Each structure stands twice: as structure tokens, then as C-alpha cells.
Amino acid sequence: MGGYHIACIGELLIDFVCTDIGLGLKQGARFLKKAGGAPANVAAAINRSGGYAKLAAKVGHDPFGDFLLHTLESEGIERTGVTRCATPTTLAFVGLQDDGERDFTFCRGADGDLSWRDIPADFLDNVGIVHFGAATGLLDGELYATYQRLLHEAKQRGVLISFDPNYRDGLWGQDPQRFIARCTPWFQQADIVKVSEEELHCITGAKTNSEGGRQLHEAGVSYVAVTCGRRGTWVSHQSGGQQLVPSVPVDAIDSTGAGDAFIGALLAQVAQSGCRLDDESEFLHAVRWANVCGALTCTKFGAIDAIPLAHDVDTFIKNSER
């Protein structure tokens, strides 16, 4: 497959997923160790969808860091931008509800130490898209400063910007307005914004997807993709085109990484087309494909391990059309 590389930046961490579904983190006792972190999940989805991803992140000099680096290598993700430090690797504990939805608790570590000095000089070479996931990236510290610098450098090069707020109560629950304020510069610079329906309404204060999308377009976003769970993805273009692209029915057990799988698959399709956003029908086709990728991710535990390969997505689509 041709196309540009896609650069991702942000947290690379361990998800400890509670397999006692419905009990949550308070009562659950059994956990699975999984590689995760929203930008890392997106990078894996890009590669599994036939694209070319590179990642900038930081992990600790510990067994968890070893595990994560091995995972990136197995996924074929370029990891020259992944460095290590004495701070322990970041951990996230994930509780699952009966419908696959989640709650998170974070033990933040090495991801926040990623500095601009850690970013390779050639990190943006042959890159057509830079994806920013904001789960931990907009918190105070080195990573936030690095996010800002990379956004500036990418815009200087005319690279497409993709942004996903990745709002987490466990990180911002006491101060959501501060999170919203931190997101604003990315909305002003992003070409593609992927946001959940709940995030859209929280961030914009809008009561409808149409109104929320309009606000983001006024900020400068070309495409807004609003993931709506089982209903699919509501897509809005700054020219005024809006529609709900239906998802596909699956037996969901864990939605961890589903949104990341969706945006990674979508960006891989955009990169394949030469990073052009002027063909709405082509973009909608990419959304339909990405919807299937996201839905299939919900049928397994974990994030990266659950993301389907491009062949599996194509096979599912062919079988569903019979």
C-alpha cells in the first residue's frame, strides 16, 4: 500500500483490564495485562489497516517498558521516537460494564516525561498526517510542551492534523473546563477531529451533534467524526454536508480502543488517498470501513490485541454484503 507515514504522539502504557465484567474497579478482582495508550492504539490500527505509523512516546526502564517496546516491534510501528527513563511506565486500570463501556484509573509515570529533545530530527519526514490524542497529553509537564512544539512544526510543514480529545474523568474529572480550554488550540489547527458524542456535547455545550459540529467547523476543523457507539459515526464537513454512517452489529465485550481503532483505520485510508480531504464521497467510504474496524475491536479484550487486520475487515464487509 502506498501513501504517507502517519506520526502519532502521546501515552504508551499498560492497560490492566478487569475481566470481572459489570463489577467495575471497586469490586473486580481479575485483570489482564494489555498494551495500550490511545496514540499507541491508533498507531497499531494504522499499521493493521495497511498504513505506516511512527510513534513518539516514553516508557520506563522496567519489565512493562520491555513489554511495550516488544509490542511495537511486533506491530511494525516505527519506534525511533520512543525513549526510556527512570520513571516507571504509566499504568491504567480499566473496569468494564455489561455493555462494554469503561471506567479508568491512572497511575501516571514515564509518558509525561517525553520532551522535545526526545523527538528525532527526521520525525516529520515523509509524514502526511500527525495525530494527537489528548488523554494525558494536555496535562501539565514536558509532554504538553512537546505536543505544542510538534503541532507548530507540523503546521509549518503543511501536514494534516488529526485530533482526538480522549477525555478521561480519571484525569480531568475535577476540572473539565481546564481540559476544554487546553483543547481549543487543537480545534483551531486540526483538519480532522474525532470525538465521541459525549465529548462533543461536553466540550461545545451543544445539545445536538449538528450544533457541536458547527462550532468546531467555525474554529477551523474540516471534518468532524462523532462516534455514536452502536449507532455508528456522525460525520460533518465544513461545506455543510452531514450524515450518520451506520455501524455494524457485533457482540461487544470491551470497547477499550474502539475509538482509537476507528480513527487509526480512517487515517490509514486518508493517507492511502494522498492525504486529500476534498473528496467527500471518498472520505465517507473511509468512515464506513473504519466503522467496521472499530466495531470488531469491541469483540475482544484489550486494545491493540483486539484491533482487526485489514483482511479481517474486508472479509467481514464481504460476508455482510451477501
Give residue-wise pLDDT tens across range 54-109.
999 999 999 999 999 999 999 999 999 999 999 999 999 988 776 556 677 889 99
Cα 132 off chain centre by: 8
Closest CA to 55 of 37, 34, 30: 37
Containing 164, the helix (H) or strand (E) segment is strand 160-164
pLDDT tens for residues 227-244?
998 899 999 998 878 999
pLDDT tens for residues 274-310?
878 888 889 999 999 999 999 999 998 878 989 999 9
Indicate the SS3 state at residue 5.
strand
Taking residues 111-131, report their average pLDDT.
Answer: 97
Looking at the predicted structure, is the pLDDT value of residue 1 above 50? no
Q: What is the DSSP letter of 309?
A: P
Instruction: Give the integer Cα–Cα distance in Å for 22 and 16.
Output: 15
Q: What is the pLDDT of residue 98?
A: 66
Q: What is the pLDDT of residue 73?
A: 97
Entry pTM: 0.93
The runs of H, that is alpha helices, within the chain are: 24-27, 38-48, 63-75, 142-156, 169-172, 176-189, 197-204, 209-219, 258-272, 280-297, 310-320
- Poorest-pLDDT segment among 133-137, 243-247, 258-262, 287-291: 133-137
Looking at the predicted structure, is the pLDDT value of residue 3 above 80? no
The three-state (H, E, C) secondary structure of 195-241, written as one string: EEHHHHHHHHCCCCHHHHHHHHHHHCCCEEEEECHHHCEEEEECCCC
Closest CA to 253 of 4, 14, 18, 10: 18
CB neighbour burial string for 172-193, b if at least 16 within 10 angstroms, e if fewer:
beeeeeebbebbebbbebbbbb
Residue for grid cell 492511502: 272
Q: Is 56 in contact with 118 (CB distance < 8 Å)?
A: yes
Which amino acid, one-letter code, is at 219? A
Instruction: Give the integer Cα–Cα distance in Å for 255 and 36.
Output: 13
- Please give the C-alpha separations between residue 116 and each of 9, 38, 143, 150, 314, in angstroms, as whole numbers: 11, 20, 8, 8, 39
Q: What is the pLDDT of residue 4?
A: 81
Looking at the predicted structure, is the pLDDT value of residue 2 above 50? no
Q: What is the pLDDT of residue 101?
A: 65
Q: What is the DSSP letter of 21?
A: T
Percent of the chain with pLDDT over 70: 97
pLDDT, averaged across the chain:
92
Expressed in percent and rounded to 5, the helix, strand and coil fractions of the chain are 45, 25, 35
The runs of H, that is alpha helices, within 8-139 are: 24-27, 38-48, 63-75
